[in-house]
Amino acid sequence: MAMTSESEASTQVLAARNPATGEVIGTVRKTLREDVAGLVQRARQAQVVWSQTSFRDRSAALDRFKLAIARDAEGWARAVRDEIGKPFGEALAEVVSTLDAMRWTIRKGHQALRGTSIGPGHQLALLVPGARQIWRPYGVVGMIGTWNYPLFLNAPTITQAVFAGNGVVWKPSEHAPLLGQKLDEAIAAAGFPDGLVVTVQGEGDVGQALVESPIDKGLFTGGIQNGRHVLTELAKRGIPAIAELSGFDAAIVLPDAPRESAVNALLWAGFVGVGQTCVAVKRVYVVGDPLPWAEALGSRAKELRVGNPASEPVDIGPLISEMARSRFDQTVRRSEAAGARLVTGGRALPGHGWFYAPTVLLADNDEAESVLEGCFGPLMIVRGFATADEALAAANRSQYALAASVWGRDRHEVNRVASRLDAGMVTINDAVTPSALASAPFGGAKASGFGRTRGVLGLREFVYSQTVQSRSPGGFRPHLFPYSDRIIKLLKTYVKWFHGG
């Protein structure tokens, strides 16, 4: 047997750490980069057969996939708690949202992918036959995932791609390899054809191998920098992609917003998942005096219980890694240097694990805010604006446009502001939770990405439209060589009758 050196062995496995303790809690085998293209080819062979199956058969297999997760819902919540650091209840809510999204596709997906008849309509005189428009799967979808919602961001999209008739090769984040393995076990329980849905494990280099493999569509979820790199690589080969990238969500608080209930909701929307939630509220734009809002958010943030969710009741767990915490801390320092006032937090907490105090900043200049763009941690920056339109203009100035919210009582004003916000998702008097709506499309605009996941639009990302037209064999066709005067006369009459020429 060949000897393996320690460094070679460590390049072959991914170690999973509990971010609340820093301890290694398991390892998984990395997929070799050179094996990825072959796995995609294998998925393609399985997909050719799978694409011929009925929606009923696909639903049955996907139901088994869903059931495998549902039967182990608490096990899933514990696994998310231990590998990502979320409080158990928060992790269980992720499991519930995942199952709901999967169920929507299993039950309603066939309606979204039903073909339609297109009549000749006003073109009757042109003697063009009507058509049927149908949806065809792309082939093999390559998915590159992130770790912050390791189940919710992966299982529903795999479900949609497979329901639409595709094969899937997907890579979980290197920060959630055990959860990737657990999802792989649920995939196995579905009994899909061999090789149809494959999990590859590894870091960015394995992601890169997937991007370079012969996939037919890409789905990337993660940061803007890697996302743009992946999009560029795919674009070079003309491969379409969905990009779910970073957010820096604004909440516009109108003068009549009820402070106590809005602060409660904003606090949760800012600090859920330690602020490592792509749609977490990061910018609180108060129309009027921001100080009472910053103080109220600050004093409530101080009450939040931060700690290891496996050993005590907590509201907030750790950041995902030491590096993520140190990067986040430097961002807070830069904002302070640019003039932001620290209302609360702003420091790493001592001890094992990568904890950070929930942070509220108050600022009155653009730079203190712009240095925070895209930061991923427990932070809200509060700013004041004289009018709703000024707050709106500031919200829309950002390149990020994932989600945004408006808070207030006056329905007319709230709707007016909401209708002018640049964002893929807008909520009124709420934030974050509406992203769990199983039937609603999820995704951003501007630098936050394009394409959608979940709901009808999410499902249709995994198919392309095919127009099928048919004439009877040997039947009449208006255009045939040689061109005749009769056809020219007919076309002239058509212009006159239908277009007034």
Question: Which chain residues interact with ligand NAD by CB under 6 A?
Answer: 144-148, 153, 171, 173-174, 203-204, 207-208, 211, 221-223, 226, 229-230, 244-247, 278, 374, 376, 402, 444, 449
Per-residue 3-state assignment (H helix, E strand, C coil) for 271-334: HHHHHCCCCCEEEEEEECCCHHHHHHHHHHHHHCCECCCCCCCCCECCCCCHHHHHHHHHHHHH
DSSP string computed for 98-128:
HHHHHHHHHHHHHHHT--EEE--GGGGGGT-
127 CB neighbour count, 10 Å cutoff: 14
Rounded to an integer, what distance in angstroms lies between the CA atom of residue 133 and that of residue 136?
10
Least gap, CB of 205 to ligand NAD (angstroms)? 7
Least gap, CB of 247 to ligand NAD (angstroms)? 5
Residue 307 or 449 having the CB closest to ligand NAD: 449
Distance of CA 139 to the CA centre of its chain: 21
Per DSSP, what are the bridge partners of residue 379? 359
Least gap, CB of 306 to ligand NAD (angstroms)? 21
Which residue, judged by CB position, is nearest to ligand NAD in the bound state?
A: 207
DSSP state of 453: B
Least gap, CB of 154 to ligand NAD (angstroms)? 10
Least gap, CB of 42 to ligand NAD (angstroms)? 20
Residue 81 or 171 having the CB closest to ligand NAD: 171
Rounded to an integer, what distance in angstroms lies between the CA atom of residue 26 and that of residue 177?
9
Residue 38 or 313 having the CB closest to ligand NAD: 38
Least gap, CB of 139 to ligand NAD (angstroms)? 19
| 42, burial (CB in 10 Å: exposed 0-12, middle 13-18, buried 19+) | middle
Residue 220 or 385 having the CB closest to ligand NAD: 220
Least gap, CB of 159 to ligand NAD (angstroms)? 16
Per DSSP, what are the bridge partners of residue 171? 144
Least gap, CB of 181 to ligand NAD (angstroms)? 14
24 CB neighbour count, 10 Å cutoff: 10
Least gap, CB of 4 to ligand NAD (angstroms)? 24
Rounded to an integer, what distance in angstroms lies between the CA atom of residue 96 and that of residue 334?
38
Rounded to an integer, what distance in angstroms lies between the CA atom of residue 133 and that of residue 453?
22
Residue 221 or 308 having the CB closest to ligand NAD: 221
Residue 42 or 229 having the CB closest to ligand NAD: 229
Residue 247 or 318 having the CB closest to ligand NAD: 247
Rounded to an integer, what distance in angstroms lies between the CA atom of residue 440 and that of residue 150?
19
Residue 243 or 284 having the CB closest to ligand NAD: 243
Residue 145 or 270 having the CB closest to ligand NAD: 145
**Tokens 């039967």 — which residue?**
71
Structure-token pair, residue 6: 């320690």
